């Protein structure tokens, strides 16, 4: 699409990858999630689910869908999201000498306690919104890579939950949703 100029790759995976792009219409950076092979029924269902859920949610602590498009003569689909500076995974793995290192922030007295409480509060606010009666969505893949951060103008951190590809709407008649979808290292031990 002529609206988006690729700047670089943010992340890659089996289903596709996330591209950092410049949106010429809004004159800002966005994250473009490219899905490959949407002609495969399972992939198509997952991508469609992510699109529907992303479009339905509007909350400060959940990643915001800006656009979606599928180029002609292609089996690819693109979902365009707001851009965030980093993920919890990025912050965890910064060198300990970096002032933005999460380990330093967490263990740095009052600042660390406040930072930790604020991150958890924002994370739980986003998840609570997903779980409320009107929506009844469950995320099913909470992990450091899906918790995104952006530093705001006042120096605080805005936290957002991302990647709703494995999320499900929990209906009254759908009591049994498989629990084998989450990323293995982050799965509860009893699962």
Active site residues: 141
| DSSP alpha helix (H) spans, 34-172 | 41-56, 88-92, 102-106, 109-131
How far is the C-alpha of 144 from the C-alpha of 108, rounded, in Å? 21
Strands 28-35, 16-23: pairing kind:
antiparallel
Residues with Cβ < 8 Å from 156, sequence gap 6 or more? Answer: 118
Given the structure tokens 């409480």, which residue do they identify? 117
Q: How many CA atoms lie within 13 A of 98 on its CB side?
A: 10
Answer whether 179's CB lies under 8 Å from 166's CB.
Answer: no
23-55 burial code (b ≥16 CB/10 A, e <16): beeeeeebbbbbbbebeeeebeebbebbbebbe
């Amino acid at each position: 699409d002529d609206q988006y100029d690729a700047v670089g790759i943010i992340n890659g995976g089996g289903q596709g990858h996330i591209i950092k792009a410049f949106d010429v219409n809004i004159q800002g950076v966005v994250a473009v999630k490219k899905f490959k092979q949407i002609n495969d029924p399972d992939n198509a269902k997952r991508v469609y689910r992510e699109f529907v859920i992303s479009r339905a949610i509007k909350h400060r602590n959940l990643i915001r869908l800006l656009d979606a498009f599928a180029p002609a003569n292609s089996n690819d689909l693109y979902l365009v999201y707001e851009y965030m500076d980093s993920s919890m995974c990025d912050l965890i793995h910064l060198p300990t000498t970096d002032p933005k290192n999460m380990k330093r922030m967490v263990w740095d007295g009052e600042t660390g306690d406040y930072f930790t409480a604020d991150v958890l509060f924002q994370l739980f606010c986003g998840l609570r919104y997903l779980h409320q009666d009107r929506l009844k969505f469950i995320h099913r893949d909470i992990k450091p890579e899906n918790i995104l951060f952006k530093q705001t103008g006042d120096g605080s951190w805005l936290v957002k939950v991302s990647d709703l590809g494995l999320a499900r709407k929990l209906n009254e008649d759908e009591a049994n949703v498989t629990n084998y979808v989450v990323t293995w290292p982050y799965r509860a031990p009893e699962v």
